Chains A and B, each alone.
Chain A
Amino acid sequence: MLKNYLKVAFRNLWKKKGFSFINITGLSIGMASAVLILLWIYSEISFDQFHEKSERIYQMYNRSVFDGKLWCWGTTPKPMGAALRKDYPQVENAARVTQGTFLTSVGEKHLNSSGYLTDPDFLKIFSFPLLKGDAARALGKAGSIVITEKLAQKLFGEADAFGKVIRIDSIAQFTVTGIMKDLPANTRFDFEFLLPWSYMKTIGWDDNYWGNNSVQTYVLLKPGVTEAMANNRFRNITKSHSDTKDIEVFVHPITKWRLYSKFENGQIVGGRIGVVRLFGIIAGFILLIACINFMNLSTARSEKRAKEVGIRKVVGAQKGLLVSQFLGESILISLLAGMVAMIIVQLSLSGFNELTDKHLSIPYGSVLFWLASLVFVMLTGIIAGSYPAFYLSAYKPVSVLKGTFKAAHALVTPRKILVVMQFTFAIGLIICTIIVNQQIRYAQARETGYKKDNLVYTFIQGDVEKHYTAISNELLNSGAVTSITKTSAPITQKWSDSWGYSWKGKDPNAKLDFCIYNVDGNFAKTTGLRILRGRDIDVKTYPTDSNAMLLNEAAVKIMGFKDPIGQTVTNGDDGKWHVVGVIPDFILSSPYEPVSPMIVQGPKAWFNVIHLRLNSARATSDNLAKTEAIFKKYNPDYPPAFKFVDDEYGHKFAEEKRIGTLSGLFAGLTIVISCLGLFALATYMAENRIKEIGVRKVLGASVSSITTLLSTDFLKLVCISFVVAVPLAWWGMHTWLQSYTYRVPISIWVFAVTGVISVFIAVATISYQAIKAAIANPVKSLRTE
Chain B
Amino acid sequence: MINITNLQKFYRTEEVETIALNNLSFGIKEGEFVAIMGPSGCGKSTLLNILGLLDDPDDGSYLFNGIEVAKFNERKRSDLRKHNIGFVFQSFNLIDELTVFENVELPLIYTKVGAAERKRRVEEVLDKMQIMHRRNHFPQQLSGGQQQRVAVARAVVNNPKLILADEPTGNLDSSNGNDVMQLLTDLNEQGTTIIMVTHSEHDARYTHRIIRMLDGQAVTENILV
Q: Which residues on A are within 8 Å of B, measured CB to CB?
A: 1, 4, 7-8, 11-12, 15, 307-308, 310-319, 321, 396-398, 401-403
Whether A1 contacts B54 by the Cβ 8 Å rule is no
Contacts of A7 in B (CB 8 A): 98, 102
Chain A residues positioned under 8 Å from B106 (CB to CB): 4, 311-312, 315
User: Which A residues lie within 8 Å of B107 (CB)?
Assistant: 315-316
Whether B54 and A315, one on each chain, are in contact in the complex, defined by CB atoms closer than 8 angstroms, is no
| Known A4-B109, A397-B54: A314·B97 in contact at CB below 8 Å | no
Contact B102 A308, beta carbon cutoff 8 Å: no
Whether A316 and B54, one on each chain, are in contact in the complex, defined by CB atoms closer than 8 angstroms, is no
Q: What separation, in Å, do the CA atoms of A341 and B54 have in the docked complex?
A: 43
Tell me the minimal C-beta distance from A627 to chain B in angstroms: 76
Q: With A and B bound together, what is the CA distance between A489 and B106 in angstroms?
A: 81
Contact residues of B between 100 and 126, Cβ < 8 Å to A: 102, 105-107, 109-112
B-side contacts of A1, CB under 8 Å: 109, 112
Q: Are A12 and B81 in contact (CB under 8 A)?
A: no
Report chain A residues within 8 Å CB of B112. Answer: 1
Prevailing SS type, chain A contact patch:
helix
A398 touches B49 (CB 8 A): yes
B52: A residues at CB distance < 8 A = 314
Bound Cα distance from A310 to B110, whole angstroms: 14
> Is B54 in contact with A4, judged by CB distance below 8 angstroms?
no
* A147–B55 CA distance with the chains assembled, in angstroms: 82
User: Contact size class for B?
Assistant: 20 to 34
**Docked complex Cα distance between A589 and B73 (Å):** 74
CB distance from B179 to the nearest CB of A (A): 22
User: Which one of A307, A314, A317, A319 contacts B54 once the chains associate, using CB atoms below 8 Å?
Assistant: A314
Contact A4/B102 with A313-B78, A314-B54, A315-B110 known, Cβ cut-off 8 Å: yes
B102→A307 contact, CB < 8 A: no
Closest 3 CB pairs of A and B: A316-B82, A316-B110, A315-B107
Whether the pair B54, A398 counts as a contact (CB closer than 8 A) is yes
**Is there an interface contact between B97 and A317, defined as CB atoms closer than 8 Å?**
no
Between A and B, 23 residue pairs with Cβ closer than 8 Å are A1-B109, A4-B109, A8-B97, A8-B98, A15-B97, A307-B93, A307-B95, A308-B97, A311-B106, A312-B106, A312-B110, A313-B54, A314-B52, A314-B54, A315-B87, A315-B110, A315-B154, A316-B110, A317-B78, A321-B110, A401-B91, A401-B93, A403-B91
Closest to B81 in A: A316
A315 to chain B, nearest CB (A): 4
In the complex, chain B residues whose CB is within 8 Å of the CB of A307: 93, 95-96
Contact string against A for B residues 193-204, beta-carbon threshold 8 Å, 1 for contact and 0 otherwise:
000000000000
| Docked-complex contact A319 and B81, CB < 8 angstroms | no
CB contact under 8 A between A402 and B110, given known A318-B75, A319-B74: no
CB distance from B12 to the nearest CB of A (A): 14
Any chain A CB within 8 A of the CB of B62? Answer: no
Interface contacts beyond A4-B109, A11-B98: sample of 5 additional A-B pairs, CB < 8 Å, sorted by A: A8-B97, A311-B95, A315-B82, A321-B110, A398-B49
Instruction: Return chain B residues, CB-CB under 8 Å to A402.
Output: 45
Q: Which chain B residues lie closer than 8 Å to A315 at the CB level?
A: 82, 87, 106-107, 110, 154
Q: Tell me, rounded to whole Å, the shortest Cβ–Cβ distance linking B191 to chain A.
A: 21
Q: Known interface pairs A401-B89, A402-B45. Does A318 touch B97 (Cβ–Cβ under 8 Å)? A: no
Asked if B150 is an interface residue, CB under 8 A from chain A, the answer is no
Give Cα distance in the complex from A11 to B81, angstroms.
28
Give B89 Cβ to nearest chain A Cβ, in Å: 7
Q: How far is the CB of A322 from chain B (nearest CB, A)?
A: 10
Which residues on the B side are within 8 Å of A317 (C-beta)? 78, 110
Q: Which residue of B lies closest to A310 (CB)?
A: B93
Q: How far is the CB of B23 from chain A (nearest CB, A)?
A: 21
Chain B residue nearest in CB terms to A315: B107
Residues of A contacting B87 in the complex (Cβ-Cβ under 8 angstroms) = 314-315
Looking at B105, B110, B111, the one whose CB has the most chain A CB atoms below 10 A away is B110
Q: Which of B95, B102, B154 has the most A CB atoms < 10 Å from its CB?
A: B95
Interface residues of B in 44-58 (CB under 8 A from A): 45, 49, 52, 54-55
B94 at the A/B interface (Cβ < 8 Å)? yes
Assembled-state Cα–Cα distance A233/B38 (Å): 98
User: CA–CA, A1 to B91, complex, Å?
Assistant: 26
Question: Which residues in window 25-78 of B have CB below 8 A to A?
Answer: 45, 49, 52, 54-55, 74-75, 78
Which residues of chain A have C-beta atoms less than 8 A from B97's C-beta? 8, 11-12, 15, 308
A315 CA to B86 CA, complexed, in Å: 7
Q: Which chain A residues lie closer than 8 Å to B93 at the CB level?
A: 307, 310-311, 314, 401
Assembled-state Cα–Cα distance A307/B78 (Å) = 17
Chain B residues, Cβ within 8 Å of A312:
95, 106, 110
Q: Report the minimal beta-carbon distance from B137 to chain A, rounded to whole angstroms.
A: 14
B82 to chain A, nearest CB (A): 3
CA distance A321 to B54 in the complex (A): 17
Bound form: Cα–Cα A401–B75 in Å? 19
Chain B minimum-CB-distance residue to A305: B97
Select from chain A the residue with minimum beta-carbon distance to B111: A316
Contacts of B49 in A (CB 8 A): 398
Q: Give, as a whole number of angstroms, the nearest-CB distance from A345 to chain B.
A: 33
User: How far is A403 from B75 in the complex, measured between Cα atoms in Å?
Assistant: 24
**B109–A308 contact, CB under 8 A?**
no
Instruction: Please judge, given known A-B contacts A398-B54, A398-B55, whether A311 and B94 are in contact too, CB under 8 Å.
Output: yes
Bound form: Cα–Cα A316–B94 in Å: 14
Question: How far is the CB of A172 from the nearest CB of chain B, in Å?
Answer: 80
In whole angstroms, what is the CA distance A720 to B94 when docked? 42
| Nearest-Cβ distance from residue B99 to partner chain A, whole angstroms | 9
Name the residue among A310, A313, A316 with the largest chain B CB count within 10 angstroms: A316
